[in-house]
Structure 1
Amino acid sequence: MELGEAASSSFAWVRDYRRAAELKAMSVDEIVRKVTTGPEVWSGPLSLYCRSVVPGTQRAQALARALAAIDCGLSVLISAGVLCARLSEEAEIVTERLAEAIAAGGAPARLRRSAGETLARLGDPRDLRELVAVTAGTYDMGGEIHPNSEPAHSAPVGSFRIGRYPVVNSDYSRFIEETGRNWSSMSGRQPERASHPATDLTWHDARAYCQWLTERWRRESRIGEDEVVRLPMEREWEAAARGQQGKFYPWGNDWEPEHANGEETGFNDICTVGLFPEGRSDFGCDDMAGQAWEWCTTLWGPDMTKPDFAFPWAGDGREALEAPGNIRRVLRGGCFSSPDWKANGVYRGSLEPAGSWRGNGFRIVVSSER
């Protein structure tokens, strides 16, 4: 940074702090008028000021409601969220507005990330267990992105339902609390990460969650007695990501950095699910490029560099659920650190089933028992 730029930046901070002090002396109505007439001038000072207000106080409640009622973008809504106590009436209003703004897309990545964490901390109102339907048919698979993904071909896929989002921390935590299963995640229980994909878990962990959820959802009549929750087969995952047109990325055939949490986004971490609605697949799945690698049932083989169960797809036992522990399972979709040639619907990855990492997660499938 040049000396002049540094001085300008320093002056901007001083100016914002002075304006934040001005906001402290204003009524709620006066603050709203300032922000409404000049959001580009006052959003920074507003953020600073809201951090100094105790959440849940009468002033905080009134200001949160007032800010949620105006249309001044994600930055102002995030500031409103700072004023709210979790699960309060104000939080309910603000989170509904935040969810609407996130669904609209178009915001800078850093604001999306902050909005997602605010949403999770206050109580995410979205149905993060939503399922979308994939119709039976013959789907494109593979491509020329890497030798392990070749050749391009087609494969039959039956009908099924799949999670719109990867399984998130809040849902996986319920499983952990009920079963006592070990979870090595250092951050999965943090409130602001409740709507992040659950990671740091093995293929066996993911399967155990599916078995637990099958029983739970049957009791709740959310699925039929003849249906199961399970991990997707690789060809099912690819069909859900690429759609009936066989798109390279869930959204199309050209890379768009603002459509996914990948290497170019710069987070170097998972984020709240659904922050990139522009990247949604034709079937309605979010976060199928980047974000977190997703476990499939499909076998790969013992060698990381070359799959024994290569493409083209074949009915050769690659969906066997029992296999020696050194036989790797397929991972798909890339993660937050993946470049565009990995964060897509074509590239194949793998990991030993007992392996785990902060960039590996999963999403569920619901289908008739097989």
Structure 2
Amino acid sequence: MTVRTFAVHIGVSDRMVSNWEAGGVGIAPRPSNQAALDTALSCAGTEAHERFAFLITEQAAAAEDQRTEILLAADPLQFVRHPVDGKLMVEVPEGIFLGGDAGSTTWLPGFHLDVFPTTNADYFRFVSATGYPPPQHWEGSRYPESIFDHPVVWVTWRDAAAYAAWAGKVLPSSTQWEKAARGTKGNIYPWGNNPTAAKCNVSDSGIGHTTPVSRYQSGASPFGAYDLCGNVWEWCATESSQGRRELKGSAFTSPFVRATPAAFNDASTGMCDEDTGFRCVAGHL
């Protein structure tokens, strides 16, 4: 749009739009004008959302200011530590939630979900305790120290299920995973309904590899779980067809438009890749 057309579109003067452009990131619109901008964005098409996500992600990556994540982080929640693998878990209470593309009502019993995906350090404890074969990207039987807090990758569904069995847990169903990611009200993303790619590690970010599982604090779900969009695809227990299981969450290799928790993906149980990992669920602790 031209400056004048855009000004009419959101109900402000063309001089104000010009001032916003000149001021750049230093501009803080009045609440009523910000609400108009937010509404315009939410009503825009996919192309505009992708363009906005790319620009905001590029800006955040250039700044590399970790204080932003701390300031935007959700209020601290009460986590529990699992007695076997020691991972932090958060409770997802029983009840209904709005899920799927159509926002249909589904009831689920309560469960606990790992706050973070299974990291290389977590998986190392499993490998050390059981003698299970390590992932192919490790240096022998141990992970590279630089990725100790990154999600473990190059694991098949069977590998993920073996870890879960050792820990006394299971892999989440796709429905459990989606409720944990979207909350009870069926948010489009874990953090809400705004398409903000800077809140997760997707290909739009230009990072090109996995990141520490605690990095994206502002992208946490309503229940306090991290990395439910981006970083790595996560294996689920749900069988989509014979020999295939569902995957959720998208990865650092995925475009942001694939990051919605309701999106469907699956793979053969023998598949392993650089962008695929997992997390587990357990009953009441």
Instruction: State the TM-score bracket (shorter-chain normalisation).
Output: 0.5 to 0.7
Q: Does 1:104 align with 2:70?
A: yes
1:217 is aligned to none
2:164 is aligned to 210
1:292 is aligned to 232
1:341–1:347: 8 Å Cα contact kept in structure 2? no
**Structure 1: runs of 5 or more not aligned:** 1-77, 79-99, 107-126, 144-150, 215-228, 302-323
Q: Give the Cα separation in 2 of the matches to 1:184 and 1:171.
A: 13
Q: Give the Cα separation in 1 of the matches to 2:68 and 2:137.
A: 27
Q: Give the Cα separation in 2 of the matches to 1:354 and 1:368.
A: 30
Does the C-alpha gap of structure 1 residues 346 and 270 become closer, same or farther in structure 2, counting only changes over 3 Å? Answer: same
> Number of paired residues?
207
Q: Percent identity?
A: 31
Q: Where in structure 2 are the equivalents of 1:129-208 lying within 5 Å?
A: 129-143=87-101, 151-187=102-138, 189-208=143-162
1:258 to 198, 203, 212: 198
Q: Give the Cα separation in 2 of the matches to 1:213 and 1:133.
A: 17
Q: Give the Cα separation in 1 of the matches to 2:252 and 2:222.
A: 22
1:333–1:343: 8 Å Cα contact kept in structure 2? yes
1:207–1:231: 8 Å Cα contact kept in structure 2? yes
Does the C-alpha gap of structure 1 residues 105 and 276 become closer, same or farther in structure 2, counting only changes over 3 Å? Answer: farther
Q: Give the Cα separation in 1 of the matches to 2:204 and 2:132.
A: 35
1:248 to 182, 188, 193: 188
2:156–2:271: 8 Å Cα contact kept in structure 1? yes
1:183–1:200: 8 Å Cα contact kept in structure 2? no
1:235 is aligned to 175
Does the C-alpha gap of structure 1 residues 272 and 282 become closer, same or farther in structure 2, counting only changes over 3 Å? Answer: same
| Amino acid of the structure 1 residue aligned with 2:185 | Q
TM-score (norm 2): 0.68
2:222 is aligned to 282
Give 3-state SS (helix, strand or coil) of 1:230's partner: coil
| Amino acid of the structure 2 residue aligned with 1:293 | W
Shift of 1:102: 8.1
Q: Give the Cα separation in 2 of the matches to 1:207 and 1:230.
A: 7
Q: Give the Cα separation in 1 of the matches to 2:251 and 2:213.
A: 13
1:290–1:344: 8 Å Cα contact kept in structure 2? no
1:344 to 260, 268, 275: 260
TM-score (norm 1): 0.53
2:238–2:245: 8 Å Cα contact kept in structure 1? yes
Q: Kindly report structure 1 stretches of 4+ aligned residues shifted beyond 3 Å.
A: 100-103
- Bigger Rg over Cα: 1
